[in-house]
Amino acid sequence: MLSSEFPAYLATRKAEVESALDQTITVTYPEVIYEAMRYSLLIGGKRLRPILCLAACELLGGERATAMATACALEMVHTMSLIHDDLPAMDNDDLRRGKPTNHRVYGEAIAILAGDALLAYAFEWVATQTQGVSPAVVLRVIGELGHAFAATGVIGGQVVDLASEGRPDTNLETLHFIHTHKTGALLEACVTCGALLGGGQDSDLEHLRTYAQSIGLAFQIVDDILDVTASSEQLGKTAGKDLVAQKVTYPSLWGLEASRQKAYDLVTVAKDSLSGYGDAAHPLHYLADYIVERDR
């Protein structure tokens, strides 16, 4: 159950992240590419990924300032994935976060390049803006981020997702692969990168990976549920896309109620993995609850 303290916590962290993101990209020549990058990066959103990074850093005694550059980089990488996911060759969507998608505003070519630029800039931002930790830690963070987004993570999941469209025979194992990679891998990187920047040891990373993998799968199950129960206005993106694309989802395999219960069970696993951290884990507990109780 969400704590009454959580809305204030979320609003404060979101405002901090928004302010930091606004400082990352300056418009210069050629203006159109920087404007396209800023358009999608600053269009809004929950900012869940950077907030997870900050919370994991603080859990282990680190300072938010130390993790903020990486938190921003994680949002850049996530934004890149959304820009490309919306393209006609992928999900072909017109709406993202309640606004026209990047390619609808700037054209397909600039949208592709804006995504490419955000991905490259994310690694530069971590490398040049992270302070307060050793170069060895920065390298580990860069490695975690790269692994999460490459064919070993988000891109690999996207490839299998595309191959599974129109395939009603897609099984649970394949669906699990898609979402632990396409959605879960980046959420895991948010938590592990934050933990590394907070001084986390291998034992901490083991607990936090269990937490992140559990909330990552819960996040996707809830996304699948919302795709069939919420409106486009509520979601800020086109609802019912999975049905149109003939994608197998968790609700289509398990039903809505069983899917909801599975998401709550995963949140319980996530919270239990942090039982040794006491009250310091409360923000991560709240974020896990938020993932299953959100309506968009």
Residue 1 has pLDDT above 50, yes or no: no
Q: For 97-113, what is each residue's pLDDT tens digit?
A: 989 999 999 999 999 99
Question: Quick check: 175 and 251 in contact, CB under 8 A?
Answer: no
Q: For 57-67, what is each residue's pLDDT tens digit?
A: 999 999 999 99
Match 């955000």 to its residue by tokens.
Answer: 118
Residue 34 lies in domain: 6-293
Q: For 255-292, what is each residue's pLDDT tens digit?
A: 999 999 999 999 999 999 999 999 999 999 999 999 99
Predicted pLDDT at 179:
92
Kindly state the average pLDDT of the residues 171-184: 94
Residue 17 has pLDDT above 60, yes or no: yes
Q: Is 266 within the bounds of a domain?
A: yes
Q: Is 1 within the bounds of a domain?
A: no
Q: Which residue has the higher pLDDT, 247 or 45?
A: 45
Rounded Cα gap, residues 82 and 236, in angstroms: 13
Q: Is 188 within the bounds of a domain?
A: yes
Q: Is 116 within the bounds of a domain?
A: yes
The percent of residues above 70 in pLDDT, for the chain, comes to 95
Rounded Cα gap, residues 3 and 283, in angstroms: 10
In sequence order, which residues have a C-beta less than 8 Å from that of residue 190 and are 6 or more positions away? 49, 50, 52, 53, 56, 71, 74, 212
Kindly state the average pLDDT of the residues 41-54: 96
In sequence order, which residues have a C-beta less than 8 Å from that of residue 162 and are 6 or more positions away? 90
Q: What is the pTM of this model?
A: 0.94
Rounded Cα gap, residues 291 and 296, in angstroms: 10
Q: Is 158 within the bounds of a domain?
A: yes
Report how many domains make up the chain: 1
Predicted pLDDT at 169:
86
Domain CATH code at residue 156 = 1.10.600.10
Q: For 118-155, what is each residue's pLDDT tens digit?
A: 999 999 999 999 999 999 999 999 999 999 999 999 99
